[in-house]
Amino acid sequence: MQISKFMTPEIIFGNQSIAQIGESLRRLGATRVFLVSDSGVVNAGWVERIMQILSQQKLAYHLWTNVTANPKDYEIHAGVAEYRALECDAILGVGGGSAIDAAKAIALLGTNDGSIVDYEGVDKITHPLPPMVMVPTTAGSGSEVSQFSIIVDSARKVKMAIISKSLIPDIAIIDPQTLMTKDRQLTANTGMDVLTHAIESYISLAATPLTEVHSLQAMRLIAKHLRPSVASQYNEEAKQAMAMASLQAGIAFSNAILGAVHAMSHQLGGFLDAPHGEVNAILLPHVLEYNFIAAPEKYRHIAECLGESTAGLSLPESSRLALKAVKELSRDLDCPESLSAIGLVPDQIELLSAHALLDVCMTTNPRDMNAQDVATLFRQAL
């Protein structure tokens, strides 16, 4: 058997679990916390609640919210300057994938020299990071348990994938109640991101039995609970299930990596500043169709996890039900179906395709791709 590694942070899951943030930081030796979040989380009231928790533990803290939906390199550098000037010694990230990715990038440069662009790729971090506690408020990016940080290189307009086991937070605290302050569109977009994580990690060339069990369970939870979660902001059962789906998909893709959907969506996020989950929802059916011949047996398992009945069907027939299930879910959630709707024009495709081939997520896609293949998929999605 091929040697593989499987890593996760300490995980604290459940309603009211944010109450353990202060104690968790204390255990890690924190005295002055750099709290990274965004305006949406502040407006929802979660940051105020967390600041109260930090004060109760007599932890000094500094709130930093200057991060956008697709975190930029210059935002990270500004955050690092504040982190160092205030002599902080721990990082707390609270929010969606953007805030948590930014928090991890600030932690990286808090103890390592240079620019964030120097760390694009795999295993380029040389010095240990400060203690990190991450609290997701969406379901979601999975960044709170992953070894990824995705940051935009503003000069190239490219999303960089920074991958290192050093980026895995020390503690992830997942409180499903935070999902009840998210609107329908954000719930749908982030839910489709979770589905993409689950599917791509399952068919990844780096998948193992340890990752596959998490990928498959995430799909089962999504099939049953994503529609109800989008339908009702206050469906507690659905929120808990989607928080767990996001967690399991995050664990899976952190260890198995992803595929062409993410390699392509990273380019659109960097170039057009487009919402990540929305782009994934558009690209996923097209990439699934392309990858079909690489893993038909796994596609049958995907179809079954997504609620399709495969009894009595041949392998090709049952496998193709995976494509049907994904398309129906996306349509039920009113996700956009074309890249032109988010601003892509044909003239941009050649450059984006070349950049996508360089993305580390492409290395674990189950079917080989060249620039022409990627460009064809972009055009199909227009």
Read out DSSP for 279-320?
HHHHHHHHHHHHHGGG-HHHHHHHHHHTT---TT--HHHHHH
Instruction: Go through the domains of the chain in sequence order and give each one's CATH number.
Output: 10-178 (3.40.50.1970), 183-381 (1.20.1090.10)
Query: DSSP code of 67?
Result: -
Question: How many angstroms separate the Cα of 38 from the Cα of each of 41, 83, 273?
Answer: 6, 16, 17
Q: What is the mean pLDDT of residues 311-320?
A: 94
| Lowest-confidence segment of 99-113, 198-212, 232-246, 330-344 by average pLDDT | 330-344
- Whether 14 has a pLDDT exceeding 80, the answer reads yes
% of the chain surpassing 70 pLDDT:
100
pLDDT score, position 103: 98
Residue 1's pLDDT band, with cuts at 50, 70 and 90, is low
Which runs of consecutive H residues, i.e. helices, occur in the chain? Answer: 21-27, 39-43, 46-56, 73-85, 97-111, 184-203, 209-231, 236-256, 260-272, 276-291, 296-305, 315-332, 349-358, 371-381
pLDDT score, position 2: 72
Model confidence pLDDT, tens digit, residues 53-85: 999 999 999 999 999 999 999 999 999 999 999
Length of the chain: 382
Model confidence pLDDT, tens digit, residues 126-148: 999 999 999 999 998 999 999 99
Higher pLDDT, 140 or 364: 364
Spatial CA neighbour of 229 closest among 353, 140, 349, 348 = 140
Query: DSSP code of 129?
Result: P
pLDDT averaged over every residue in the chain:
96
pLDDT score, position 3: 75
Model confidence pLDDT, tens digit, residues 209-238: 999 999 999 999 999 999 999 999 999 999
pLDDT score, position 274: 87
Model confidence pLDDT, tens digit, residues 237-272: 999 999 999 999 999 999 999 999 999 999 999 898
Backbone angles phi, psi at 13, to 5 degrees: -125, 135
Residue 5's pLDDT band, with cuts at 50, 70 and 90, is confident
d(CA 211, CA 378): 29
* Encoded amino acid at 260, one letter: A
